[in-house]
Amino acid sequence: MEPCRKLSASTPAKLVLFDLLLSPDGSSYLRKPLTDRRAALETVMGRYLEDALVLSPFTRDVKQARRWLSEAGNGGFDGVVCKHLDGAYEVGSRAMIKVKRLRMADCVVGGFRYEVNSRKVGSLLLGLHNDNGGLDHVGFTSTIADAQRERLTARLEALRQAPGFTGKAPGGPSRWSGERSGEWEPLRPELVVEVRFDHVTGHRFRHGTKLKRWRSDKKPSQCRFDQIEEAVAKDPTA
C-alpha cells in the first residue's frame, strides 16, 4: 500500500459519481428510471462536502452537451455519454452511447518496440517537440497492418540511432510495478505519421492512437505541442 499512499499525497485523486444503484437505506434503484436515480444521487451528494467526491455534470440541453463535447479530450474527460431518461440500469449491458471527440496530430516516430517474442515491429513510439526543441515521448500507435510489419521493420531498423527522444523518453518503470519491460529501439527523428487520438492527460496521449497515414511531406521540426494544446485544458470537474 506504500506506493498508493505516496501517490495519494503527490497526485490526489477524485471520485466522480454519475449514478446511484442502492439507496442509503439499502433499497435497490436498479429498476428505477435514470431521472429518479439522478435525483437520489444529487440528494446523497448534497450531504457530503469532501473534495475527493465530485458529482458528474448532467444536462438535458443538447446545446450544453455539444459545448461539453467541444471541450472533451482534456485531462478531465474524453467525451459525453447519452442515456435514456426513462431507462432502468441494465447490468452487464451497454444501454448508452458514448460520444468521443477525436482529433488528429502529426508526430515524429522517435522509436519503436518489437512485438512480444518476435522481431517484427509491434508499435511506433511518438514524439512532439517541446518549447526547448527537445523531442518528448507522448504516446504510441500499434495499428499497423500485419502485411506491412516485415517491410516496416526493415525500414525502421535502418534508422536505429540513439537517443531517439531528446526530451522525455519512454521506458520508465510502471508506477505500480517495476518489472514491466521498458525496452525500445531509438530512431533518427526523420519519420512523421498522422495519428488520431481521443484524450490527453499530462501532455501525453492517454490511450493508444490510430495510425492514419505517413507524412513524407511534413518536416519533423513541424511536429510540435501546439497541435494538442487545445486538448490540454482545465478539468471541468475540478
Say if residues 41 and 20 touch (Cβ distance below 8 Å).
yes
Looking at residue 233, its pLDDT comes to: 52
Q: What is the pLDDT of residues 93-138, one digit of tens each?
A: 888 898 888 889 999 999 999 999 999 999 999 999 999 999 999 9
Taken in order 141, 101, 229, 227, the sign of the CA dihedral is positive
Query: Chain-wide mean pLDDT for the chain?
Result: 88
- Mean per-residue pLDDT for 220-238? 72
Q: CA 172, CA 35: separation in Å to the nearest integer?
A: 45
Which DSSP helix (H) or strand (E) runs through 106?
Answer: strand 103-114
Which pTM does this prediction carry? 0.70
Looking at residue 202, its pLDDT comes to: 80
Which carries the bigger pLDDT value, residue 84 or residue 176? 84
Q: What is the pLDDT of residues 176-220, one digit of tens each?
A: 444 445 799 999 999 999 999 988 888 899 899 999 999 999 999
Say if residues 205 and 138 touch (Cβ distance below 8 Å).
yes
DSSP state of 115: P
Q: CA 125, CA 160: separation in Å to the nearest integer?
A: 13
Structural domains present in the chain: 2-100 (no CATH), 103-231 (2.40.50.140)
Q: Is 68 helix (H, G, I), strand (E, B) or coil?
A: helix
The DSSP result for 144-213, as a single string, is --HHHHHHHHHHHHTTB-S-S-SSS-S-PPPSS-TTS----EEB-TT-EEEEEE--EETTEESS-BEEEE
Q: Return the bridge partners of 213, or none.
A: 194
The DSSP result for 14-61, as a single string, is -EEE---SB-TTS-B-TTS-HHHHHHHHHHHHTT---TTEEEPP--S-
C-alpha cell at 77: 474527460
* pLDDT of residue 154 exceeding 70: yes
Q: CA 149, CA 123: separation in Å to the nearest integer?
A: 10
